[in-house]
Amino acid sequence: MSNRLGNVMKIAILGATSQIARDLIVSFSTADDKHLHLFARRPDEVAKWLVSVGLSGRYPVDEFSEFASHEYDAVINFVGVGNPAQAITMGNSIFDITLRFDELVLNYLQTHPACRYLFLSSGAAYGSSFNEPVTRNTSAVVAINDLAPHEWYGVAKLHAECRHRAHPELPIIDIRVFNYFSHTQDLSARFLITDILRAIRDKTVLKTSADYIVRDFLHPSDFYKLVSALLSASVTNIAVDCYSRAPIDKPNLLAAMQEKFGLHYEIAEATPSVNATGGKSYYYSLNTRAANFGYQPSLTSLQCVLLESEKALNTI
């Protein structure tokens, strides 16, 4: 039985304190056919954030203990980490946290089998070696006899995806996020793009390695388009990869940020970095399965970075 009120879809957002969740909530706020119920370990923090973005009282906010007592048409699970340093701090607890909240939703689906479940997975589920971009035929590689701490995050996501495929009767879609960027990003996080923005903000010289890497930055508007397409598509049990219109390599990214924002940078022999999920030269996907659901990205990675960087720097 549908839990809709008229044509309004009721959606539970788990992990509403995460950056990507908050961006999606703001995007959803422009849609009259979606009603959100937000859940977090720190609901007061979410309520204060809603006030700060002009959405005070717009959506109910609760602790996770209240989740099972309500009815939804869809659940989107953002619980996890979005920051390499945070992943290191969490250590092996990432397994327990991922499992706990995934089981919370899976148990709910047992009594509400028509409810859709979108799970925020990661490109790291493929493993930690990205010597080339992944495709639909790429296999996940796990160093089972020598599993390192930087692989725990990806294995936790892979484990969740395996649980989901083991329930083909349930409407579950795993969304593998590779790189996502918006002006709401915490600039203290240790990503290449945040290192770049701090250097621009502080008028310092960015010291970066000569390593050649390629990234695919997804814009909040394209992530919203993807989620909306998946929510309105025919029910299925599958995983999709996120992608923009085109990825960007490090040399062209640095040159563009230099031209647009006056970035000063130097190529160094070795620089300190945080590789919480392993080094990835070509961390993006050529698997465009999401197009089967009607998803068509509007922006390239470079367009995303330039648009959102300008907003972030103007805010500063």
Is residue 4 pLDDT above 80, yes or no?
A: no
d(CA 313, CA 305): 12
Report, as an integer, the average pLDDT of 269-284.
68
Q: How many domains does the chain have?
A: 1
What confidence score (pLDDT) does residue 132 get? 96
Q: Is residue 187 part of a domain?
A: no
Identify whether 294 is part of a domain: yes
Answer for the pair 73, 116: CB distance below 8 angstroms, yes or no. yes
Percent of the chain residues topping a pLDDT of 90: 84
Confidence class for position 270, pLDDT limits 50, 70, 90: low
Residue 220 lies in a domain: yes
Q: Are 38 and 13 in contact (CB under 8 A)?
A: yes
Contact 133, 243 (CB under 8 A): no
Count how many Cα atoms sit within 13 Å of the Cα of residue 53 in the half-sphere of its side chain. Answer: 18
In this structure, how many other beta carbons lie within 10 angstroms of the beta carbon of residue 49? Answer: 20
Lowest mean pLDDT among 2-6, 37-41, 69-73, 100-104: 2-6
**pLDDT-based confidence at residue 116 (cuts at 50, 70, 90):** very high
Beta bridge pairs of residue 240: 175
What is the domain extent for residue 32?
Answer: 9-182+216-245+283-298
Provide the 3-class DSSP secondary structure of residue 7. Answer: coil
Averaged pLDDT, 218-239: 97
Note the pLDDT tens digit of each residue in 159-171. 999 999 999 999 9
For the chain, percent of residues with pLDDT exceeding 70: 92
pLDDT computed for residue 2 by the predictor: 45
Among 3-7, 49-53, 182-186, 293-297, the least confident range: 3-7
The answer to whether residues 236 and 171 touch, using CB atoms and an 8 Å cutoff, is: yes
Distance CA 187, CA 207 (A): 17
For residue 80, what pLDDT band results from cuts at 50, 70 and 90? Answer: confident
* For residue 187, pLDDT beyond 80: yes
Total count of residues recorded for the chain: 316
pTM (2 decimals)? 0.93
In this structure, is residue 204 part of a structural domain?
Answer: no
243: left (phi over 0), alpha (psi -120 to 50) or beta: beta
Q: Is residue 61, in this structure, part of any structural domain at all?
A: yes
Q: Kindly state whether residue 127 falls inside one of the protein's structural domains.
A: yes
**What would the DSSP string read from start to end of 159-219?**
HHHHHHHT-TTS-EEEEEE-EE--TTS-TTS-SHHHHHHHHHHHT-EEEEE----EE-EEP
CB atoms within 10 A of CB 240: 23
pLDDT at 1: 37
- Residue 128 neighbours by CB distance under 10 Å: 19
Q: Which two tokens stand for residue 21?
A: 């969740």
List the CATH number of the domain containing 60: 3.40.50.720
pLDDT band at 38 (very low <50, low <70, confident <90, very high): very high
Give the C-alpha separation, 50 to 54, whole Å: 6
**C-alpha span between 137 and 184 (Å, rounded):** 34
Residue 257 placed within a domain: no
In a domain, 109, yes or no: yes
For residues 197 and 262, the answer to whether their CB atoms sit within 8 Å is no
